[in-house]
Amino acid sequence: MKKLKVLLLMSLMALVSFSCNNSDTKKVVDAAKIAVNGTMEAELTSPPNVPASVGDRPAKKLIVNMEILEEEGTMTDGTTYIYWTFGGSVPGSFIRTRVGDEVEFTLSNHPDNKLPHNIDLHAVTGPGGGATSSFVAPGHEKKFNFKTLNPGLYVYHCATAPVGMHIANGMYGLILVEPEGGLPKVDKEYYIMQGDFYTKGKNGAPGLQAFDMTKAVAEQADYVVFNGKVGSLTGDNAITANVGETVRLYVGNGGPNLVSSFHVIGEIFDRVNVEGGSTINENVQTTLIPAGGAAIVEFKVDVPGTFILVDHSIFRAFNKGALGMLKVKGEEDKVLYSGVVQEGIYQPEGGGIQEMPEDPDAKKVVVNSNKSLAEKIESGKNIYTKTCFACHQANGEGIAGAFPPLAKSDYLNADVKRSIGIVLHGKTGEITVNGKKYNSVMTKQTLSSAEIADVMTYIYNSWGNNKTNVSTSDVDAVRNGH
């Protein structure tokens, strides 16, 4: 009992001293007193773009017009989904304000929409973050006002029941409140937001996929993606920078369920506004972004190459879609990075084609040359699952912008010798598969000729390919340069 009293007293003292020292409280009071000077309409942008910085403009009355649209979009090649959006994109339009702005927010619900919606902005000080004042039926609009008191990067989202479902369908975005005078100038700024999706069919199932409430409740995501779909930031959609430039990423996490371990492979964040607030952490490898939270990360790009953005809960990156790319152009600096810098996919072993240690027995393996086609396919499937699956995926579908498909691959079917050569020697440089460009690295595989014959035969006899039966001597011929 006595112990409890002491504890109580101690926590009381801690509380008192905390509130006395808390200088942030003062800032909030000051922000409330900032007078506005003029009116302007807010520029809204869809990801990965952000509006122009506020710079040193005074606080203003800021008009924000946001339209809710329910529309079908692409989740991944061959798979579509009905997204519910703020402004026609997932995440919704980026809103950029400064502290002291008086925002006049108009939320309109398009007449073609089926459902009522609203908006809860985490930057709002007020009941429901605006949700209660903004509940709006299809074909209607609602207006409400708020003053931005706390600088930071904030999530907004729909908060209409069932809330989880509205968020799971893409109803989230970011609102930035810059401090007085604006954030420090950088060369490139981008808007990225992670989200998890739950579909009736599993990852990659074709056609229009409905939302799956059971999977959402169980937190078993079929897709975990940046900017609403697989491949939104890969290949031609990659974000870009030049060597020597400073890059700032406004990274949010809409959830609804999963927490993001945001990481850029081959970069270290020079500065992170932790949780989107005012605390700055430096020299960070991976920053945690909670569901319904955000972070501002900044780094200078010093060497050229492709830097892969991932949720470092890594199966999400390679198997569920949470993979993006930053392409950096410019001069190499051999002192900073000596190796061959090239467009690389995440390989824990490194970027270039790797020389795997040769297995001296590999070529001596006694080959059962009498294997039937069915036996070769069975053995090939086994090899595929062990060595190719991680990149080319279970049904040879690949990953948009990163790993080309082997299913119905025109590239594969056009030239058997060339394909054998790729498995034998690895591959870098640009290739076009089924009309899409890939420019990354496939590692050299250390497989015996018989194993390569089996895995190639399996691939050629699966997923709509041309049924070539590759023999060990075909592989040996390519191995010996014929």
For binding to Cu ion (CB under 5 A), which residues are involved?
117, 158, 160, 166, 171
- By DSSP bridging, strand 152-157 and strand 172-178 are antiparallel
Residues facing 83 on adjacent strands: 71
Q: Within positions 451 to 470, which residues make up the interface with ligand HEC, using CB under 6 A?
A: 455, 459
Q: How far is the CB of 140 from Cu ion (least distance, A)?
A: 14
Tell me which of ligand HEC, Cu ion, none is bound by residue 390, counting a contact when its beta carbon lies within the kind-specific cut-off of 5 to 8 angstroms.
ligand HEC
**Residues 432, 439: Cα–Cα separation, whole Å:** 9
Tell me which of Cu ion, ligand HEC, none is bound by residue 263, counting a contact when its beta carbon lies within the kind-specific cut-off of 5 to 8 angstroms.
none
Question: Per-residue string for binding with ligand HEC, 346-365, x by CB under 6 A?
Answer: -x------------------
For ligand HEC, which is the closer residue by CB, 152 or 404?
404
Tell me which of Cu ion, ligand HEC, none is bound by residue 257, counting a contact when its beta carbon lies within the kind-specific cut-off of 5 to 8 angstroms.
none
For ligand HEC, which is the closer residue by CB, 63 or 407?
407
Which tokens belong to 450?
Answer: 């018989």
Question: Which residue, among 145, 133, 148, 134, has the nearest Cα to 100 in the 3D structure?
Answer: 148
**Residues 320, 327: Cα–Cα separation, whole Å:** 22
Quick check: 318 binds ligand HEC (CB under 6 A)? no
Quick check: 28 binds ligand HEC (CB under 6 A)? no
Quick check: 423 binds ligand HEC (CB under 6 A)? yes
Pick the binder of ligand HEC from 172, 318, 438, 460 (CB under 6 A).
Answer: 438
Which tokens belong to 408?
Answer: 């119905």
For Cu ion, which is the closer residue by CB, 117 or 316?
117
| Listed ranges 187-195, 261-269, 357-365, 402-410: which one lies at the site for ligand HEC (CB under 6 A) | 402-410
Question: Per-residue string for binding with ligand HEC, 201-240, x by CB under 6 A?
Answer: ----------------------------------------
Quick check: 345 binds ligand HEC (CB under 6 A)? yes
Range 172-205 burial, b when 16+ CB lie within 10 A, else e: bbbbbbbbbeebeebebbbbbbbbbbbbeeebbe
For Cu ion, which is the closer residue by CB, 117 or 142?
117
| Listed ranges 111-119, 262-270, 286-294, 434-442: which one lies at the site for ligand HEC (CB under 6 A) | 434-442
| Listed ranges 37-45, 242-250, 268-276, 388-396: which one lies at the site for ligand HEC (CB under 6 A) | 388-396
**Residues 188, 76: Cα–Cα separation, whole Å:** 27
Pick the binder of ligand HEC from 113, 443, 449, 457 (CB under 6 A).
Answer: 443
For ligand HEC, which is the closer residue by CB, 38 or 429?
429
Quick check: 98 binds ligand HEC (CB under 6 A)? no
Quick check: 62 binds ligand HEC (CB under 6 A)? no
Tell me which of Cu ion, ligand HEC, none is bound by residue 171, counting a contact when its beta carbon lies within the kind-specific cut-off of 5 to 8 angstroms.
Cu ion
Quick check: 439 binds ligand HEC (CB under 6 A)? yes
Residues within the interface to ligand HEC (CB under 6 A): 345, 347, 387-388, 390-392, 403-406, 409, 411-412, 419, 422-423, 427-429, 431, 433, 438-443, 445, 455, 459
